[in-house]
Every structure is written in structure tokens, then in C-alpha cells.
A and B are shown apart, each in its own frame.
Chain A
Amino acid sequence: MAGLSTRRSDNKTVTFGDAAAVTSLPFWGLLGVITLFGVWFLTTTAFGFPSELEEKYNAAAETKAIEKAEAAGEPVDFDRLSDRELFVECQRDGDNCNNKTSYTQVVSSLSFPSIPDTIGAAQELFTDGYQNFSIWEHTWASLWRVLRGMFWGSVVGIPVGLSMGLSSRARGFFDPLVEGFRPIPPLALLSLFVLTFGIGDKAAVPLLIFASLWIMIIAARAGVRNASLAKVRASYSLGASKSQLLRKVLIPNALPEIFTGLRVALGVSWGTLVAAELTGVQDGLGAMISQAKNFSRLDIIVVGIVIIALIGVLMDGFIRFLESILIPWQGKG
């Protein structure tokens, strides 16, 4: 009929709940990120401490630190930890360093880094590196640790989880261990791991394995338990043996849960990284952040955080890409 408007086939009348929330729109994602940076800009840069004043103030603090050191009869080298501390101490005595600098200005110079500060720190990191390692070496060191942790966590965790899903004996045996170990914060185990395994990577990697192990066990177990009784029975009446049932039915059927586990483990592993790199390793983003903390280099901390966030997003995107290839049926039942 003339004048009748054609309805688009994707016109939704239900716009609340799952029906509306299955797909996310890239525009809104972008808006979320812009909002975050906007808030950062407004609170630190637009209304924050003017950077030229801060430089003046820092110069004054540096002079004060040198004076203080010379009075004690020692040369000052700001790359040395104790001298850096001296500098920071002089910054804190704001009023003594520079009479024009007020207390609030001192505090704001030590508060959340502004966007220009962070960009400056990023430039410094990308050209000079930090603490004798380039930023790429730091990043790769952390990435390699996280990957090793997740790999061994999965290699051990998935079979244990599968066995728990399949046998009540295995479930009985492992259940108290899993539930007991799972809530322990990796940071609490730090010293024990260093004493047991040694300093550096010898303790850092086991700590990351510890972080992902329980997640992978629970994911694999849930995957097996999710297999419908109908699928198991159908397999048997089609002539499958027990081992065929496991390999051809239960493991593929558990893939969606295992991938969900990998995504959760990924987040938790990066979240454990700073703790894991307190084990005496020199390289790595977590180590970089801890050292920057000692020198009050908040801008470097923020750069480290941003890099971790970016890698996290990229790796999650990669796992999602694998999901779309390996388990295309997910969510389409």
C-alpha cells in the first residue's frame, strides 16, 4: 500500500535488559574512555597546579637539597636513592624551600599527575627507559611472566578441574584445597614464595601461577558440570567409550567456560603483577611501578598503569577473537 512505511527488521520494541544489551556499541565505548580522560584533565590539568610554577618550585627544592647535602659535606647525585629522598624531603618542607610556595601548592605537586606530566613521563620512558631497562624490556618482561603464569596455571588447573567435574572422589579430594587456597591474596604469600623458591622469577612466576590456577580449576569444573545429561546419554547410546566421551564431548563442551576462565585469569594475573614483581626482579612494569613509588614519581606510575590497561584490553580482545573462531555457538543456543 502506498504511504506505508517499511519497518526495519532490527527495530526493537524491547529495549530493556538482555534484548538491548547483547551488543555493545563502539561509540559508547569511545565515549566512556573520553569521559575518563576528560575527568582526569579537568581535575588535574585544567584546575590543577600550574606546571611552570611547579618547575620553579622543584628547582628551589633541588637547590635546597644540594645545599643541605653540601652542608653535610657530600656531593649530590639524584640518581642515588638517598639523595632523591633528600630532594623529596626538601619538597615537603615547602615553605623553607621557597617562601612564595604555599602548602597547598606543595601538596598538589605530589598529588595525581596531570595529563601533560604523564605524557612527559611517557616520553622520558620511551626514550631513556627506567632503571636501566627500556620500556619495551619492562613491558615484555611482565607480559612474558603473565603468559607463563597463565600457561602453567591452565596446564595444571584444567585437568584438575576436569577431574573434579568427572569424579566425586577427585571432587572430594580437591574441593577443600581449592576453596581454601582460592581466597588467599598472593601478596600474603610473597615472602613465603621467595623463601621457598628463591628471589626473582623463581618466585614471581609461581605467584602468577597461583593467581590463575584456582580460576582455571573452577572454570574447567563448571564446564564439565554444564554438560547436559542428554548429551552424555546420547554419546553413550551412539557407542562412545568413556575416554571418547571425555575427549570428543566433555572437553569441547567445556570450552566456553574455560575461555571465560582464561579471561578472568588474565585480569587477575595482571592484577597480581605488582605483587609478583616485588620478589626482587629488576625488570617489569610492576617493578617499575614499585620503584617509581619509592621516588614519588607518580607520573611514571600512571604511565605503567596505562600500559598495563592497554595490554589487558588487547589480550582480552585476542581471547574474544579466539572465542569467536573456536566456540562460535556460544550464546546462540
Chain B
Amino acid sequence: MRALSVKNLEMVYEVPKGDPVHALSNINFDLKGGRLLTLLGPSGCGKTTLLNIIAGFLGPTEGEVYLGDEKITGPSEDRGMVFQQGALFEWLNVSKNISFGPRMAGVKKSVYLPEVERLLDTVGLSGFGDKQIYELSGGMQQRVALARCLANDPDMMLMDEPLGALDALTREKMQSLILNLWNETGKSIVMVTHSVEEALLLGDKVFVMAPRPGRIEKVYELPFAVRALSEDPREIKKGADFQEVKEEILSFIWEMEEEIMGREEA
């Protein structure tokens, strides 16, 4: 898996009748292939903007993003994207959603059909291939989205709050699924989340971002993701080391939110 490298990224939005918004400022980092990076921060810190730039949906005002030696200039099937919801194609059944990428690339049916079956099995949806999207629960729909993304065999999976719309129990199960997929496929994952707990459990690297201008404020390298592959994630979350980091980040984000509120009132 190719490494991601982000160099001197600046993103400024021009706002009609207002000051330009400095969404991202001086973002620099390298991410080796096969890492799981989670992006955390208060709203407006630019984490989704950063993800969209890596995906190629947005062009940065300044700076470059490279995947391996290749400069990112637009969306491509080597960077798959999983959205919070609403990105599945309702007019296609589960199998056809998953095989969308290969079919667009002109892959033969005899090649992609066994692959679709294998992916259905991987995400725990064996036997659901002929179901329609609207027949599935929210959690199952996200499983389809993960499988659809994997069908293109991308270098990297980008996830924009993929579990944000799920109930707590389903969310825990999906966190384990994502960890297992990460472990089995060895793909790089960059994931935006609002949940501090989720970011700490899943991220073997965590960026805590701060707003105005959007920047990376803190970087954590954490052992929990690897541990969660063999241990019970619930026990890990209860552990003192996990709680300590969680409190530190929560109070940090809390302070930033306070500051934003204060600035807006002034």
C-alpha cells in the first residue's frame, strides 16, 4: 500500500459578502501505507475538508497531496470513499452496488461475481446479495458501502463519519468490523469521526485538529487499535490508559469549543 504525503496544504474558502474562511493552514504529514488514521476535532476544524482534498473532491488553495509518487488531482478508484449515509444506489440491489466499481471499469462478470460473493462474506452479508438497499438496516447499508469500496481494491479507504448515523450497539459491532477489515486487507484508512472514543479505539494514529485556521494541533500514536484485534474492545475502553487519553482530548476539545463560543459572542 502506497504512503500518503501531505505537503504545505492551505485551503481558503471565498465567502460572498464576508471574510475568507481559512479552513486549513500549513498541514504537513506523512502516513505510511497500512496505517489507520482518525481525524478528530470540533466542528469547523477542517477535518472533512482535509478528507475531501485527499479524496480529490476539492482542490487545495496551496500545497500538494501525494499517494506514493502520484500527485492527487481528482477522485480516483485507488482512494475509495465511505460516506455517513445516502451514497448507496437505491435502484441497484446489494450485489450490483458492490460490483459498481468493477462494472464501470469493464471487468467481466465471471471475474467480479465471485469477488462480490467473497466481499459479502467479508462484511457479514452472505445471502443478502439479491436484497434491495431499502430492505436493509442502517448498519447493513454501511456494510454494503464498505464492501463496495473494497471491490475496487483501493490503496486507501477514506471514511467520512461512516458510523455517525448508527445506534450505539450497531456502532460497536461496526467498529470491530472496520478493525478486522483493516487488519485483513492491510489497506490505509483515514477516518473522520465526532466520537472521541471511536477515534481512540480505531486510530493507531490520531490527529486532533483545531479551528480558525484549521490545523493539526496534536498527534497521538496509540496501541488500542492493534490491541482491539485480539482483546475485547469494551474492556480496552474501560482501561485506565484509554480513559486518560480520552479525558485529555475531551478537555482539550472542550476548551477549544469554549474559546469559539466566546469569540463569537464578543
Name A residues whose Cβ lies closer than 8 Å to a Cβ of B.
228, 230-231, 233-241, 244, 248-249, 252-253, 255, 327-329, 332-333
Residues in B with CB closer than 8 Å to A248 are 100, 104
User: Once bound together, how far apart are the Cα atoms of A248 and B97, in whole Å?
Assistant: 11
Max chain B Cβ within 10 angstroms of own Cβ: one of A231, A234, A255, A327: A234
Interface residues of B (CB under 8 A from A): 55-57, 74-77, 79-81, 83-87, 89-91, 100-101, 104-105, 132-134, 148-149, 152, 158
On whether A237 and B86 interact (CB within 8 A), knowing A253-B91, A255-B91, A327-B91, the answer reads no
Dominant secondary structure at the B interface = loop
* Min CB gap B254→A, angstroms: 30
What residue in chain A is nearest B158 (Cβ atoms)?
A237
**Is the pair B89, A241 in contact by a Cβ cutoff of 8 Å?**
no
Closest 7 CB pairs of A and B: A239-B77, A329-B90, A236-B75, A230-B87, A332-B134, A238-B101, A234-B87
A328 to B104, CA, bound (A): 24
Sample of 13 A–B contacts (CB below 8 Å): A230-B83, A230-B87, A231-B87, A234-B83, A236-B57, A236-B74, A237-B75, A237-B81, A238-B148, A241-B104, A249-B89, A255-B91, A327-B91
Complex formed: what's the CA distance from A259 to B79 in Å? 35
Q: Which of A233, A237, A239, A253 contacts B105 (CB 8 A)?
A: A239
Contacts of A236 in B (CB 8 A): 56-57, 74-75
Which one of B76, B89, B149, B158 contacts A252 once the chains associate, using CB atoms below 8 Å?
Answer: B89
Given contacts A228-B87, A252-B91, contact A237 B132 (CB under 8 A): no
Report whether B104 and A237 are in contact in the complex, using a CB–CB cutoff of 8 Å.
Answer: no
* Contact status A233-B87, CB under 8 Å: yes
Given contacts A230-B83, A233-B75, A328-B132, contact A238 B104 (CB under 8 A): yes
Partner of B55, one of A233, A240, A252, A327: A233
- Which residues of chain A are within 8 angstroms of B76 by Cβ–Cβ distance? 237, 239
